[in-house]
Amino acid sequence: MPQRTLRRAKNHTPEFQKRALPGLTYIISMPKSSSRKPKSKSRLISSRAVYRGSAFWVSTDDVLEPTGVRVRRDIVHHTGSIVVLAIDETKSEPDILFEHQYRHAAKQFMWELPAGRIDKGEDEITAAKRELIEETGYSAARWKRILKFYASPGFVAETMSIFLARGLKAGLAQPEADEVIEVSFVPLKKAVEMVMKGKVQDAKTISGVLWLSHQGNLRKPRR
Protein backbone atom coordinates (compact mmCIF):
# COMPACT_ATOMS: atom_id res chain seq x y z
CA MET A 1 0.00 0.00 0.00
CA PRO A 2 1.56 3.39 -0.95
CA GLN A 3 2.36 5.81 1.80
CA ARG A 4 2.42 9.59 1.71
CA THR A 5 3.59 11.96 4.41
CA LEU A 6 1.21 14.76 5.31
CA ARG A 7 2.90 17.87 6.65
CA ARG A 8 1.09 19.99 9.20
CA ALA A 9 -0.32 23.21 7.69
CA LYS A 10 -1.87 26.25 9.36
CA ASN A 11 -5.36 25.24 8.32
CA HIS A 12 -4.86 21.62 9.36
CA THR A 13 -7.85 20.30 11.32
CA PRO A 14 -8.93 16.86 12.57
CA GLU A 15 -11.70 16.90 9.93
CA PHE A 16 -9.08 17.03 7.19
CA GLN A 17 -7.64 13.73 8.39
CA LYS A 18 -10.96 12.03 7.68
CA ARG A 19 -10.86 13.01 4.00
CA ALA A 20 -7.92 10.74 3.16
CA LEU A 21 -8.35 9.12 -0.24
CA PRO A 22 -9.13 5.38 -0.34
CA GLY A 23 -6.01 3.25 -0.72
CA LEU A 24 -3.67 5.92 0.68
CA THR A 25 -2.16 5.92 4.16
CA TYR A 26 -1.25 9.30 5.64
CA ILE A 27 1.43 9.47 8.30
CA ILE A 28 0.23 12.42 10.37
CA SER A 29 3.14 12.51 12.79
CA MET A 30 6.24 10.55 13.69
CA PRO A 31 7.52 9.71 17.19
CA LYS A 32 10.06 12.18 18.51
CA SER A 33 13.60 10.95 18.28
CA SER A 34 15.28 10.06 21.53
CA SER A 35 18.90 10.55 22.46
CA ARG A 36 18.75 7.43 24.60
CA LYS A 37 20.19 4.27 23.14
CA PRO A 38 17.60 1.54 22.42
CA LYS A 39 17.67 -1.49 24.69
CA SER A 40 19.64 -4.38 23.25
CA LYS A 41 17.88 -7.18 25.10
CA SER A 42 14.31 -8.36 25.46
CA ARG A 43 12.65 -9.14 28.79
CA LEU A 44 10.88 -12.49 29.12
CA ILE A 45 7.78 -11.95 31.23
CA SER A 46 6.50 -15.52 31.11
CA SER A 47 7.05 -18.73 29.16
CA ARG A 48 4.94 -21.87 28.94
CA ALA A 49 5.87 -25.12 27.17
CA VAL A 50 2.97 -26.22 24.96
CA TYR A 51 4.63 -29.16 23.20
CA ARG A 52 7.62 -31.42 23.80
CA GLY A 53 8.90 -33.93 21.28
CA SER A 54 12.07 -35.93 20.70
CA ALA A 55 13.54 -33.39 18.26
CA PHE A 56 12.23 -30.02 19.48
CA TRP A 57 9.84 -28.30 21.86
CA VAL A 58 7.49 -25.33 21.51
CA SER A 59 6.87 -22.54 24.01
CA THR A 60 4.46 -19.62 24.16
CA ASP A 61 6.36 -16.58 25.42
CA ASP A 62 5.09 -13.25 26.74
CA VAL A 63 7.99 -10.94 25.97
CA LEU A 64 8.85 -7.26 26.08
CA GLU A 65 11.09 -6.69 23.05
CA PRO A 66 13.88 -4.08 22.82
CA THR A 67 11.62 -1.98 20.57
CA GLY A 68 9.22 -1.50 23.49
CA VAL A 69 6.60 -3.84 22.05
CA ARG A 70 5.05 -6.39 24.38
CA VAL A 71 3.88 -9.40 22.41
CA ARG A 72 3.19 -13.13 22.52
CA ARG A 73 5.64 -15.24 20.53
CA ASP A 74 5.31 -18.95 19.81
CA ILE A 75 8.86 -20.31 19.54
CA VAL A 76 10.19 -23.64 18.30
CA HIS A 77 13.25 -24.57 20.39
CA HIS A 78 16.00 -26.86 19.09
CA THR A 79 19.44 -27.90 20.31
CA GLY A 80 20.99 -26.72 17.04
CA SER A 81 22.19 -28.47 13.90
CA ILE A 82 25.37 -28.96 11.95
CA VAL A 83 25.83 -29.20 8.19
CA VAL A 84 28.80 -30.78 6.43
CA LEU A 85 30.16 -29.41 3.17
CA ALA A 86 32.39 -32.38 2.35
CA ILE A 87 34.50 -31.97 -0.79
CA ASP A 88 36.73 -34.23 -2.86
CA GLU A 89 39.66 -32.21 -4.22
CA THR A 90 41.36 -34.92 -6.29
CA LYS A 91 40.16 -33.28 -9.53
CA SER A 92 40.68 -29.81 -10.99
CA GLU A 93 37.22 -28.83 -9.73
CA PRO A 94 36.00 -29.92 -6.29
CA ASP A 95 33.19 -32.46 -6.04
CA ILE A 96 30.58 -31.98 -3.31
CA LEU A 97 29.21 -34.90 -1.34
CA PHE A 98 25.41 -34.82 -1.72
CA GLU A 99 22.59 -36.81 -0.20
CA HIS A 100 19.28 -37.59 -1.90
CA GLN A 101 16.43 -38.50 0.43
CA TYR A 102 12.69 -38.14 0.91
CA ARG A 103 11.44 -35.33 3.15
CA HIS A 104 7.84 -35.68 4.30
CA ALA A 105 7.51 -31.99 5.25
CA ALA A 106 8.37 -31.01 1.66
CA LYS A 107 6.57 -34.07 0.20
CA GLN A 108 9.41 -34.73 -2.22
CA PHE A 109 12.90 -36.15 -2.59
CA MET A 110 15.52 -33.50 -1.98
CA TRP A 111 19.21 -32.91 -2.65
CA GLU A 112 20.99 -31.95 0.55
CA LEU A 113 24.32 -31.72 2.29
CA PRO A 114 24.81 -34.16 5.19
CA ALA A 115 23.36 -32.63 8.34
CA GLY A 116 21.92 -33.46 11.72
CA ARG A 117 21.03 -32.42 15.22
CA ILE A 118 23.56 -31.70 17.94
CA ASP A 119 22.90 -34.29 20.64
CA LYS A 120 22.90 -33.45 24.33
CA GLY A 121 26.45 -33.12 25.62
CA GLU A 122 27.98 -32.74 22.14
CA ASP A 123 29.80 -29.76 20.72
CA GLU A 124 29.39 -28.74 17.09
CA ILE A 125 32.50 -30.38 15.65
CA THR A 126 31.81 -33.69 17.40
CA ALA A 127 28.28 -33.73 16.01
CA ALA A 128 29.55 -32.89 12.51
CA LYS A 129 32.05 -35.76 12.49
CA ARG A 130 29.45 -38.18 13.83
CA GLU A 131 26.76 -37.21 11.31
CA LEU A 132 29.13 -37.45 8.34
CA ILE A 133 30.12 -41.00 9.23
CA GLU A 134 26.60 -42.10 10.15
CA GLU A 135 24.92 -40.79 7.02
CA THR A 136 27.63 -41.28 4.38
CA GLY A 137 30.40 -43.49 5.81
CA TYR A 138 33.00 -40.80 5.06
CA SER A 139 35.40 -39.27 7.55
CA ALA A 140 37.54 -36.18 7.01
CA ALA A 141 41.06 -35.16 8.00
CA ARG A 142 40.51 -31.38 8.07
CA TRP A 143 37.56 -29.43 9.43
CA LYS A 144 36.66 -25.74 9.49
CA ARG A 145 33.44 -23.95 10.41
CA ILE A 146 32.58 -21.57 7.58
CA LEU A 147 29.04 -20.33 8.32
CA LYS A 148 26.60 -20.09 11.22
CA PHE A 149 23.04 -18.83 10.85
CA TYR A 150 19.45 -19.13 12.06
CA ALA A 151 17.27 -21.47 10.02
CA SER A 152 14.09 -19.36 10.34
CA PRO A 153 14.45 -16.70 13.06
CA GLY A 154 10.84 -15.52 12.88
CA PHE A 155 9.74 -18.39 15.11
CA VAL A 156 12.50 -21.05 15.17
CA ALA A 157 15.41 -20.77 17.62
CA GLU A 158 17.51 -23.36 15.76
CA THR A 159 21.01 -22.39 14.65
CA MET A 160 22.89 -24.16 11.87
CA SER A 161 26.67 -24.34 11.51
CA ILE A 162 28.23 -25.40 8.23
CA PHE A 163 31.60 -27.15 8.39
CA LEU A 164 33.95 -27.56 5.45
CA ALA A 165 35.34 -31.11 5.50
CA ARG A 166 38.44 -31.98 3.44
CA GLY A 167 40.70 -34.97 3.07
CA LEU A 168 37.87 -37.48 2.79
CA LYS A 169 38.20 -41.18 3.48
CA ALA A 170 35.45 -43.68 2.58
CA GLY A 171 34.01 -46.03 5.17
CA LEU A 172 30.82 -47.81 6.17
CA ALA A 173 27.71 -45.69 6.71
CA GLN A 174 25.64 -46.20 9.87
CA PRO A 175 22.25 -44.60 9.12
CA GLU A 176 19.39 -44.64 11.61
CA ALA A 177 16.53 -47.09 11.10
CA ASP A 178 14.29 -44.49 9.41
CA GLU A 179 16.98 -43.06 7.12
CA VAL A 180 17.14 -44.14 3.47
CA ILE A 181 19.89 -42.02 1.93
CA GLU A 182 21.54 -42.12 -1.49
CA VAL A 183 25.01 -40.58 -1.59
CA SER A 184 26.80 -39.16 -4.64
CA PHE A 185 29.47 -36.63 -5.56
CA VAL A 186 28.44 -33.65 -7.68
CA PRO A 187 30.94 -31.30 -9.38
CA LEU A 188 30.81 -27.75 -8.02
CA LYS A 189 29.75 -26.25 -11.36
CA LYS A 190 26.88 -28.74 -11.64
CA ALA A 191 25.85 -28.11 -8.03
CA VAL A 192 25.63 -24.35 -8.65
CA GLU A 193 23.54 -25.03 -11.75
CA MET A 194 21.20 -27.22 -9.70
CA VAL A 195 20.80 -24.39 -7.18
CA MET A 196 20.12 -21.72 -9.79
CA LYS A 197 17.59 -23.90 -11.64
CA GLY A 198 15.71 -24.73 -8.45
CA LYS A 199 16.65 -28.40 -8.33
CA VAL A 200 18.19 -27.82 -4.90
CA GLN A 201 15.53 -26.34 -2.62
CA ASP A 202 17.14 -26.88 0.77
CA ALA A 203 18.34 -23.60 2.31
CA LYS A 204 21.36 -24.95 4.19
CA THR A 205 22.58 -26.71 1.04
CA ILE A 206 22.10 -23.59 -1.08
CA SER A 207 24.16 -21.62 1.47
CA GLY A 208 27.01 -24.14 1.42
CA VAL A 209 27.15 -24.53 -2.35
CA LEU A 210 27.13 -20.79 -3.03
CA TRP A 211 29.75 -20.19 -0.32
CA LEU A 212 32.07 -22.70 -2.00
CA SER A 213 31.44 -21.21 -5.44
CA HIS A 214 32.81 -17.87 -4.17
CA GLN A 215 36.03 -19.38 -2.80
CA GLY A 216 38.15 -18.99 -5.90
CA ASN A 217 41.32 -18.94 -3.82
CA LEU A 218 40.53 -22.12 -1.88
CA ARG A 219 43.93 -23.76 -1.70
CA LYS A 220 44.33 -27.45 -2.22
CA PRO A 221 46.23 -29.29 0.51
CA ARG A 222 49.88 -30.07 -0.20
CA ARG A 223 50.59 -33.65 -1.18
* Whole-angstrom Cα Rg for the chain: 25
Return all residues near 69 (Cβ < 8 A) that are at least 6 apart.
Answer: none
- Give the pairing type, strands 115-117 and 57-64: unpaired
Active site residues: 179
Round to whole Å and give the CA distance between 187 and 194: 11
User: From residue 37, how far is each of 1, 12, 40, 41, 64 by CA, in Å?
Assistant: 31, 33, 9, 12, 16
| Other beta carbons within 10 Å of 205 | 25
- Asked whether the beta carbons of 70 and 64 are under 8 A apart, the reply is yes
Instruction: Classify the C-alpha dihedral 146-128-177-59 as positive or negative.
Output: negative
